[in-house]
């Protein structure tokens, strides 16, 4: 599929996007596809998001009815997967204007319904993309921008990988990100949300399977009074119980905020212990020092993903730093594999200023590589 129409006789699909998402990684999958939907909307495309867990998406989009099968929210049409598939199988494309648009996404290898794949063979030229998971592993560069032929239909699909290098698709970066960060009043946010003046502030959004007791023991042993802003969920319940009774910690339970407000938390804190993919990316784009809780898997693939990112992030570590990168690397690895020691928690806290310098350098490198959505739009056929 070429970037430009091959001849005047080529029939181009109308401009627009349909994004398909099956939620496996809970808020991560829903969060990435909602962010992609908003990004494409802001770049001028009509967008339909077809998702099999509207209720999960509604936790991030507070004006979305979790029981809705069809909704228009902030200019984006949201459709329940089963209802939409039934309509398409019956030949009804009214929700998308009667014709499959110029850009069709299957996200994270979710596999499109058979009726959708067949519908893409209507003689119109469009781009069909599999947007995959984020990873810093080297193999991603060889798999990015690879075309695959359908086994039975005359249509092909582009594998497109987010990433941290010039040989990947980059990250979703909205226009005005720098301006929003400069205009944000971190001190005012902290005061409004119950943080105590004069204390460093940390944010926690992790998995219940993480070594929360070890983290709590390290925070206690470090001896530093802290504001601890805890996201909703079982993991935060566990951390709060583990620190109960220690007056050095000002524990604040945050509500589940809409996606648009999540960046404010990350901009307001001195460090974050963060999980998943979308939250992990937003912490980096905020320039916030972090410990990353990769999604745990039995085959230890999450440890491989962490090591791959650490190898990239190492490049941003200040050459004149008094603290070696290996100290941060050890805390990150041992947090993920469950062997975190109290001394490593203290070392992580002590080196937050150095991490901040590295995070700012790393953030600038990500911004220079540009926006994933714009890169994809450059590939869409147009006259």
The three-state secondary structure class of 305 is helix
Q: Which two tokens stand for residue 368?
A: 């220079």
Q: Is 29 a catalytic residue?
A: yes
Q: Are 295 and 344 in contact (CB under 8 A)?
A: no
Q: Is 364 a catalytic residue?
A: no
User: How far apart are the C-alpha atoms of 245 and 235, rounded to whole Å?
Assistant: 18
Question: Catalytic one among 85, 87, 277, 371?
Answer: 277
Q: Which two tokens stand for residue 243?
A: 């620190």
- Per DSSP, the residues of 129-197 read EEE------THHHHHTTEEEE-SSSS-EEEEE---SSTTS--B---TTHHHHHHH--HHHHHHHTTPPT
Q: Which two tokens stand for residue 11?
A: 């029939």
Ramachandran assignment for 37, one of left (phi > 0), alpha (psi -120 to 50 degrees), beta (any other): alpha
Q: Which two tokens stand for residue 308?
A: 């791959």
User: How far apart are the C-alpha atoms of 279 and 32, rounded to whole Å?
Assistant: 9
Question: Catalytic one among 29, 80, 278, 371?
Answer: 29
Q: Which residues are catalytic?
A: 29, 277
């Amino acid at each position: 599929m070429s970037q430009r129409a091959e001849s005047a006789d080529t029939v181009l699909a109308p401009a627009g996007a349909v994004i398909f998402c099956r939620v496996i990684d809970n808020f991560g999958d829903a969060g990435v596809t909602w962010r992609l939907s908003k990004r494409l909307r802001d770049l001028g495309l009509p967008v339909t998001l077809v998702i099999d867990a509207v209720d999960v998406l509604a936790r991030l989009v507070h004006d979305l009815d979790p029981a809705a099968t069809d909704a228009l929210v902030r200019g984006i049409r949201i459709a329940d997967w089963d209802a939409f598939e039934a309509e398409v199988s019956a030949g009804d494309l009214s929700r998308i204007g009667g014709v499959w648009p110029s850009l069709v996404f299957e996200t994270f290898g979710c596999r499109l319904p058979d009726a959708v794949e067949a519908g893409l063979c209507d003689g119109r030229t469009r781009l069909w993309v599999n947007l995959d998971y984020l990873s810093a592993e080297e193999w991603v560069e060889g798999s990015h921008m690879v075309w695959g032929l359908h086994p039975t239909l005359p249509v092909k699909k582009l594998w497109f990988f987010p990433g941290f290098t010039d040989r990947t698709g980059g990250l979703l970066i909205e226009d005005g990100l720098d301006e929003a960060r400069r205009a944000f009043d971190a001190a005012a946010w902290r005061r409004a949300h119950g943080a105590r003046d004069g204390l460093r502030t940390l944010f926690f959004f992790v998995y219940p399977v993480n070594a929360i007791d070890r983290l709590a023991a390290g925070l206690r042993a470090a001896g530093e009074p802290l504001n601890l802003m805890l996201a909703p969920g079982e993991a935060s319940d566990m951390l709060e119980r583990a620190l109960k009774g220690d007056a050095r910690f000002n524990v604040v339970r945050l509500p589940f905020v809409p996606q648009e407000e999540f960046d404010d938390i990350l901009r307001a804190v001195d460090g974050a212990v963060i999980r998943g993919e979308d939250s992990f990316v937003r912490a980096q784009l905020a320039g916030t020092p972090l410990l990353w809780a990769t999604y745990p898997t039995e085959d230890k693939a999450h440890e491989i993903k962490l090591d791959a990112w650490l190898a990239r992030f190492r490049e941003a570590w200040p050459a004149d730093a008094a603290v070696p990168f290996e100290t941060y690397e050890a805390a990150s690895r041992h947090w993920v594999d469950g062997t975190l020691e109290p001394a490593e928690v203290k070392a992580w806290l002590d080196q937050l200023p150095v991490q901040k310098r590295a995070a700012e350098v790393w953030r600038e490198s990500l911004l220079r590589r540009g926006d994933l959505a714009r890169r994809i739009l450059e590939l869409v056929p147009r006259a």
